[in-house]
Amino acid sequence: MPTDAHATSRVRPADELRQVALEQFSTVGFAATSLQQIADHAGYSKSSVLYHFASKEALLESAIGPAIDDLEVLLGDFVAGGRSPEARAVFIERFVDFLLGNRLAVHTFVNQGQSLLDIPVIQRANTAIRGIADSICADDATVVENIRFGVALAGAAYMLVAGATFRDEDHQFDDVEVRAALITVLSELLLPADGRSTR
């Protein structure tokens, strides 16, 4: 018997499963999310999930892989360009847009990147993050610089998903406001300011 729960759905099943899985992975955690839960949320059976994706790991890879691709492009462009304050400003804006456009994926590998080190796509993500850190902070960067960078990136990533937990339902932020605020705060942190050295 066909279940018309998703019979009329024109969304491709694989995409739908990716989205549901990403929501679970980012909020509940990869290990804590079972294939059965993903299947239930998406309206499929567990077997169907494993038909579209060879394994739970492959599903994770498929869900956050594109975001890592974007991040690597972002990193490449930044490394190719200069490290002037102007270039940094452009990078910050693009980086915030990246965070907003891939918030679930970002939250997943930022929060769980250290516990999933044996998964290839996570290794790719960690490498990219380290690359960005190396690019922003010179080799002779001070501890303060490294802390500043880590606080900025991790804090920004956290605010996009978990931060919503601490807001009332009717006090949720507007994405446009969040974008502007994140750019402001990250600029304060990562751009040279009067009387402060960034390297």
By CB under 8 A, is residue 59 in contact with a copy of itself? no
Contact by Cβ (8 Å): 112, 32:
no
Q: How far apart are the first and last CA of the chain?
A: 65
**CA–CA gap between residue 38 and residue 33 (Å, rounded):** 7
Judge residue 118's burial from the number of C-beta atoms within 10 Å of its C-beta, 0-12 exposed, 13-18 middle, 19 or more buried. Answer: exposed
- Whose Cβ is closer to a copy of itself: residue 36's or residue 146's? 146
Q: Which of 165, 169, 170, 197 binds a copy of itself (CB under 8 A)?
A: 165
Q: Which of 45, 123, 126, 135 binds DNA (CB under 7 A)?
A: 45
Q: Which of 166, 169, 170, 197 binds a copy of itself (CB under 8 A)?
A: 166
* 19 contact choice in a copy of itself, DNA, none (CB below 5 to 8 Å, kind-dependent): none
**CA–CA gap between residue 97 and residue 195 (Å, rounded):** 29
Q: Which of 19, 27, 29, 46 binds DNA (CB under 7 A)?
A: 46
CA dihedral for 99, 103, 105, 106, sign (positive or negative): positive
Residues 116-135 that bind a copy of itself (CB under 8 A): 126, 129-130, 133
**CA–CA gap between residue 123 and residue 154 (Å, rounded):** 17
How far, rounded to the nearest angstrom, does the alpha carbon of residue 173 sit from its chain's CA centroid?
A: 18
Q: Which stretch binds DNA (CB under 7 A): 35-43, 96-104, 110-118, 120-128?
A: 35-43
* 51 contact choice in a copy of itself, DNA, none (CB below 5 to 8 Å, kind-dependent): DNA
Angle between helices 143-161 and 85-101 (to 10 degrees): 30
Q: Which residues bind a copy of itself (CB under 8 A)?
A: 27-32, 110-115, 126, 129-130, 133, 142-144, 146-148, 150-156, 158-159, 162-163, 165-166, 173-174, 177-178, 180-182, 184-186, 188-189, 194, 196
